[in-house]
Structure 1
Amino acid sequence: MRVNVQALLLFSVFVVATCGLVYELVAGTLASYLLGDSVTQFSTIIGVYLFSMGIGSYFSKFFHKNLVAWFIQVEVLVALVGGFSSTILFLLFDRVASFQIVLYMLVSLTGILVGLEIPLIMRILEHRYEFKDLVSKIFTFDYIGALLASVIFPLVLMPHLGLLRTSYFFGLLNAGVALWLCFYFTKEIRGINYLKVSCVVSILCLLAGFVLSDRILAFTESLTYSDKIIHSVQSPYQRIVLTKNDREIRLFLNGNLQFSSADEYRYHEALVHPGLNSVPNPKKVLVLGGGDGFAVREVLKYASVEKVVLVDLDKAVTDLFSSYPTLTVLNQKALHSKKVTIINADAFKWLKDQNQEQFDFVVIDFPDPANYAIGKLYSNTFYKVLRAAIRPGGAVVIQATSPFVAPNAYWCVVNTLASCGFKTLPYHAHVPSFGDWGFVLAAPDKPVQVNSQFLAQLKFLDKPTFEQMRVFPKDMPARQTEVNKLNNQALVHYFEAEWANYLN
């Protein structure tokens, strides 16, 4: 039985809306991965996309004849531009001088094409419905499609397909609808064979991209990373890439270096041991972040420690560092210890809503506050919740970015802790892969007193070294900053401005 033409075109509206929003979400996600600052990227991309849809809607008035044929051609173009957009962006990142111009050009082109489609469908259907019914039906299907895209993108598409396959999949949907329309309107469109061929070729190209997306991504990453990639995976939260050369293994999350096996011990010894030395006979330790297990490895060097709780958002990271042989050698199978409990959850929510314990020592090894989602984990609200999880006489240590590159960001962390009643002890260490790196040791009730005797087995840290780490030279003096609050995210602004200035 032949499908009703109205139903077919309304279904096309649904597909157009769903695919269009998915392309927008893919571009925003990819931009936040590659450029950072997810709020800015999503805000500007949404604005550019909606503005471009307005331009497309305006241009639709210049189409007078063969509206169905024009709609099919536009649908094919949307399929190709949207389907290949993420691949183009991955390929060109770090290889063009103005990556953002390419990004916004693709977003604009997609928006213009999608903006053309809805008015064209409305004009195709204008003689089949009363105006009020036409507007009602068109926008009902449009908004339902947008809702579906916004729900399935984070819950289904990103975890199971990833960015490239998601783009190709929805490109196939666009091209499939175009081909369906070709067969439906075969007798009504001149040059229909040309349209059918263009639809079929587009589908074959997009299908090839979908099937080969892993190879395409591996190729683009091989251009980005100078060393051999030995493992890469897309988690629901980030792109995880491991590289290796003759000297070291490196971990990158969304393109940002997280550690080098050549010198990570400097970072993790500096992070863990001064604080644990300040707590007499520590038994229970909480590690927030640090899914690589390196901080846990250092904690387990203390015989008095009976329990370690590791809370890390990304299960893909903790699974990788629990199972990948090269990595378990580096962290000395710390995540397999019977003393260790691994919890994959948002640290803020877990600490606020689920934790019922107090700990002798807390290690906070979150990523740098490069966006608002991470910045909340450095806020005064978070530190007030944290206080309740530290027993009297306990302490906490926080990695706090570079006091040399981003002094305002570093001292903002110190000042935010102090505003919550913590007694702070700032210090820094040189880690060759990162440069001068800052930490803050703090206690909720009294000044921290670090024991001068460090474990003899440590490679880097000893009494003279730590005494030197506490000294900030003249070009890194303490400074007054705003307190980082949820409603101002001052830390994220400091961090972005200072690192951008340093890198440029």
Structure 2
Amino acid sequence: MSEATNDNGPCAPNERVLYRERSAFQDILLAQEPSGHINLTLDDVWQFRSQDEHVFHEVLADTPILMAASPAKVLILGGGDGLALRNVLRYPAVRQVTLCELDPCVLHMTRTIPAMVELSENSLADPRAQIIAADALSFVETVDARYDVVICDFPAQTSPELSRLFAPEFFRTLEAITHEHSVVSIQVSQDPAGFWPICAAVEASFEWLHPMLANLDAADAAGAGDPPSGDDDNWADFVVASHTPQVVRSEPAEGVRFLTGPRIPRLRIRNRAGDHFETDEYGQLPDYR
């Protein structure tokens, strides 16, 4: 296999390629480090690394489940790696999950590559999960259902094609498939200049917002007491939204390692201007100036 590149530079020569495919939509590369950790890139853009993905997916997927009054019916848009689905399925209150992934090759990778089957806890095979290979925008425009929780697990907005999934028109379609107490969670992963316009687009359809920030390095320094790095490469931001104000209503499931009920309000981004994000958890980090 040829060497691949991602946001952090070329893959190390001693990394082992577990799966590589040029699909009809993107270049997919799943590689394993000598440590055993695996990394996924799509079109040379990093998607996850197994040593810290739990931080990302707990904030994205567990937060709306913990806030929803009744998270029985869940929709995941994107997320073909099965990791958000894995987290959602840990909650007995979840009765039915529909996952809509654009790329069948990503689904094939998750179902067949042993490292991904293990990491995802074989979530795509769970009887509560309905897996659909389709364009998310087309799906939400035609579906005749209302969901208690909607999780948008798309790649960050790095192309015109992806921009439509962060536009006001898309969030209006989500409004039509939710109800008064539904909770919507969206991974954004943009600096403040890109993050707040997306929050404004969400706010046009969902009055209550809970913007959140997570330091993925928390996985490496768990229990060490080290302060978070100011390096903006290892941070992710999200927006949780609803038609009505929401609070944390339940406890995280067994297996959750980063997220706690008290931590959810501490991860909330308080400011809405400037070159940094401000939270109780991290102070004024990272600084994007």
Q: So what's the TM-score if we normalise by structure 2?
A: 0.83
How many residues are paired up?
258
The superposition leaves residues 23-48 of structure 1 with CA deviations (integer Å, 9 ceiling, x where unpaired) of xxxxxxxxxxxxxxxxxxxxxxxxxx
Q: CA offset at residue 224 of structure 1?
A: 3.4
1:250 aligns with 2:39: yes
Q: Deviations over 1:51-72 (max 9, x none)?
A: xxxxxxxxxxxxxxxxxxxxxx
Amino acid at match of 2:197: C
Bigger-Rg structure (1/2): 1
1:421 and 1:337 map into 2 onto residues whose CA distance is 31
Task: State the partner residue of 1:368.
Answer: 156
CA contact (8 A) 2:251 2:261 kept: yes
Decide whether the 8 Å contact of 1:441 with 1:448 is kept in 2.
Answer: no
What SS class does the counterpart of residue 420 from structure 1 fall into? coil
C-alpha separation in 2, matches of 1:256 and 1:303: 34
Distance (whole Å) between structure 2 residues aligned to residue 221 and residue 279 of structure 1:
40
The structure showing larger relative contact order (alpha-carbon pairs under 8 Å, at least 6 residues apart) is 2
Q: 1:452: Cα distance to partner?
A: 6.2
* Partner in structure 2 of residue 43 of structure 1: none
Deviation at 1:220, TM superposition (A): 4.2
Equivalent residue runs for 1:76-155 within 5 Å: none
Deviation string, structure 1 residues 125-166 (Cα, Å, up to 9, x no partner): xxxxxxxxxxxxxxxxxxxxxxxxxxxxxxxxxxxxxxxxxx
Looking at structure 2, the residues matched to 245 and 367 of structure 1 have their Cα atoms a distance apart, in angstroms, of: 22
Do residues 466 (structure 1) and 264 (structure 2) align?
Answer: yes
Q: Once the two structures are aligned, what percentage of the paired residues are identical? A: 28
C-alpha distance in structure 2 between counterparts of 1:438 and 1:348, whole Å: 22
The match for 1:266 among 35, 45, 55 is 55
Partner residue of 2:212 out of 396, 406, 427: 427
Residues 46-445 of structure 1 aligned to structure 2 (within 5 Å): 218-221=1-4, 224-226=10-12, 227-247=15-35, 248-353=37-142, 355-402=143-190, 406-432=191-217, 434-444=233-243
Shift of 1:472: 4.3
Letter in 2 for 1:318: L
**SS of residue paired to 1:467:** helix
Equivalent residues of 2:248, 2:261 under 8 A apart: no
- Equivalent in 272, 276, 280 of residue 476 of structure 1: 276
Name the amino acid aligned to 1:395.
Answer: V
RMSD: 2.2
C-alpha separation between the residues in 2 aligned to 1:436 and 1:224?
A: 21
**Structure 1 residue 282 displacement after superposition:** 1.4
Distance in structure 2 (CA, Å) of the matches to 1:230 and 1:299: 26
Greater share of strand? 2
Aligned partner letter, 1:347:
A
More helix by proportion, 1 or 2?
1
Asked if 1 retains the 8 angstrom alpha-carbon contact of 2:19 and 2:113, the reply is no
1:18 aligns with none
AA aligned to 1:414 is C
- Quick one: structure 1 residues 392 and 471, their matched pair in 2 at CA, closer, same or farther if it must change by over 3 Å? closer
